[in-house]
Amino acid sequence: MKIRSIIVDDEKKSRSNLKQLLTEYCPVVEVVAEADSVMTALSLIAQHKPDLLFLDIEMGELSGFDLLKLLNGQQNFELIFVTAYDKYGIQAVKACALDYLLKPINILELSGAIDKAIKQIGPRKEDERLKELVANIDRRGDEQKIAIPLADKIEFITISRIIRLEAEGNYTHFYLADHKHHLVCKTLKDYQELLEGHHFIRTHQSHLINFKKISSYVKTDGGYIAMEDGSQVPISRQKKDEVLGKILR
């Protein structure tokens, strides 16, 4: 499990120091973004949806507490305050922070704070996964979702969004309807089995396509499938009769 985090601190040196400590002593934490102001932090939180926020308190005109007020209780992350001033301890506790670290950061205290984060965030991620699996029971056909493991998270993708899959050794490329692309550490065969019964055709040893996303069959150049996203998928000699049979029936 990776904990996706954002560091919010107006001092670049402080951000760099914390990031270095996390890399060296807390590799489970991935810093996905850094913010030097409250307004930048608001934008990055909306964009990255972090699991954990490292938040400085005094940052010019707007403070870390102001950021929490602007979020208006809508945050879905754990919070660790990081500050050079110990006078904010009680306020930090009242803000429901997971922990409170004083600068310069003590490595043992940082590790302890991350242990707390793991205990809070891990079960939440597992709950999300289980909820999605249960929700699939009520979905029909292509509105069901499959889970794909990415470097920093597990993403749930609606099957109807998938245009095609392409193998690269033990990895699989996912090409989606909104032009998004993911590379997943799992074989194409694994996903062929998962997607069985959902209108997917194996056209080639390296290609699995969503039959509902076919734009046309082009007879020239040996024959290939044109997909809705503009991509061209080859048809192997061994698969040609089977694929054409499904297209033309």
Q: What percent of the chain has pLDDT over 70?
A: 87
- Residue 14, pLDDT score: 95
Using pLDDT thresholds of 50, 70 and 90, give the confidence band for residue 126.
low
pLDDT at 1 over 80: no
- Residue 89, pLDDT score: 64
| Closest listed residue to residue 124, CA positions, set 59, 73, 66, 77 | 77
* Residues 177-205 pLDDT 10s: 988 999 887 888 888 888 888 889 999 99
* Residues 45-61 pLDDT 10s: 988 889 999 999 888 88
pLDDT at 227 over 90: yes
Residues whose CB is less than 8 angstroms from the CB of residue 200 and which lie 6 or more positions away in sequence, other chains included:
162, 165, 192, 208, 209, 210, 211
**What value, to the nearest 5°, has the Cα angle with vertex 237 and ends 236 and 239?**
65
- Residue 175, pLDDT score: 96
- All domains of the chain, ordered by start, with CATH? 3-126 (3.40.50.2300), 141-248 (2.40.50.1020)
> Dihedral, CA atoms, 204, 150, 128, 213, nearest 10 degrees?
-30
5 DSSP β-pair partners: 31, 52
Using pLDDT thresholds of 50, 70 and 90, give the confidence band for residue 91.
low
Residues whose CB is less than 8 angstroms from the CB of residue 60 and which lie 6 or more positions away in sequence, other chains included:
10, 37
What is the rounded average pLDDT for all residues in the chain? 85
Using pLDDT thresholds of 50, 70 and 90, give the confidence band for residue 111.
very high
H-type alpha helices, 139-226: 188-194
Sheet containing strand 214-218, edge to edge, reads: 214-218, 224-227, 232-234
Q: Which among 29-43, 129-143, 180-194 has the top mean pLDDT?
A: 29-43
Tell me the CB-side half-sphere exposure of residue 55, using CA atoms within 13 A.
Answer: 30
| Closest listed residue to residue 33, CA positions, set 50, 21, 17 | 50
Distances (CA, A) of 49 to 29, 43, 145, 186: 14, 10, 20, 25
- Residue 202, pLDDT score: 93
- Residue 139, pLDDT score: 61
Higher pLDDT, 222 or 70: 70
Higher pLDDT, 94 or 241: 241
DSSP string, 90-121: HHHHHTT-SEEEESSPPHHHHHHHHHHHHHHH
DSSP-derived letter for residue 220 is S
When computed from its CA atoms, the radius of gyration of the chain, rounded to whole angstroms, is 24
18-22, 79-83, 148-152: range with lowest mean pLDDT: 148-152
- Label the pairing between strands 3-8 and 232-234: unpaired
Tell me the two tokens of residue 119: 């205990």
- Residue 158, pLDDT score: 87
Measured distance CA(227)–CA(224) in Å, rounded: 10
- Residue 136, pLDDT score: 58
11-20, 71-80, 99-108, 121-130: range with lowest mean pLDDT: 121-130
pLDDT at 230 over 90: yes
